[in-house]
Amino acid sequence: MEEEEIKSFVKKRYGKIADSDVSCCSSCACESDLMELGKRIGYSAKDLLNVPEASNMGLGCGNPVALAALSKGDTVLDLGSGGGIDVFLAAKNVGPTGKVIGVDMTEEMIKRARSTAKKYDYTNVEFRLGEIENLPVEDNSVDVIISNCVINLSVDKEKVFREAYRVLKPGGKIMISDLVTEGKLPERIRKSFDAWAGCIAGALEKNEYLDTMRKAGFRRVKIVSELSYNIDVSEELKNRITSVKVAAYKASE
């Protein structure tokens, strides 16, 4: 499988999701009640009531904003912002003096998120079209990076983390919710386009994920919490996929 083939398939899959009223990927339960799904992956009822309904698409595997300890005035970057749920949550935390930037490679997702921001008059958010391996963001310009079940979709995760490190200010923090594996997955799953788009095939083994962050320069890399992820996975994969929240920092100069 070529990197561009995987990327193209993933973009088309999420473009269709963004343009539809059905919000789910193959690794996320397609529940009619997205409020309940949101609670299952870490959002509180208050969180879900405080963001536009259109931004909750049931696509995450955690709530990185809850543990990011955002402050008023922070500049925050969301890698793979999708419909914008975490951008809108973060926007309330950083206040009018702060800013939240969402980056996504899918034009339809950016269009949807921008429309939502305009409709609900969010003045401290911005959505930029771009790839997380090549961020349209200036060096040393971001206080906190968040990401929710997206980095597993990238073929070149070390490049993603190097880009994240580049744009963070010295002493800046990254807080990620993502899926990792316990041991190696079957090769046929690794080569499945559907499994790639479903956040499974591209998932790294847990220790490899942490080591990749360290190679990119991050320090104090730590799993803050983890739990077995069995939402809409096959019997074969049960207890082999783990949802982790990982915190790390860029060294202070």
Domain segments of the chain as ranges: 3-249
pLDDT of residue 34: 75
Token pair 């397609």: residue: 30
Read off the tokens for 229.
């992820």
Residues 6+ apart with CB under 8 A from 217: 161, 162, 165, 250, 251
Mean pLDDT, the chain, rounded, equals 90
In CATH, the number for domain 3-249 is 3.40.50.150
pLDDT tens figures, 72-116: 999 999 999 999 999 999 999 999 999 999 999 999 999 999 999
CA-CA distance, 57 to 94, in Å (whole number)? 23
Q: What percent of the chain has pLDDT over 70?
A: 94
pLDDT tens figures, 161-182: 999 999 999 999 999 999 999 9
Check whether 131 has a pLDDT greater than 50.
Answer: yes
More confident residue, 148 or 199: 148
pLDDT of residue 177: 96
Q: Which residues pair with 223 in a beta bridge?
A: 246
Check whether 37 has a pLDDT greater than 80.
Answer: no
Read off the tokens for 37.
């799904």
More confident residue, 54 or 30: 54
Q: Where does the pLDDT of residue 233 fall: very low under 50, low under 70, confident under 90, or very high at 90 and above?
A: low
53 and 84 in contact (C-beta within 8 Å)?
no
How long is the chain? 253
Check whether 199 has a pLDDT greater than 70.
Answer: yes
Q: Which residues pair with 179 in a beta bridge?
A: 243
Check whether 30 has a pLDDT greater than 60.
Answer: no
Predicted TM-score (pTM) of this structure:
0.92
pLDDT of residue 148: 96
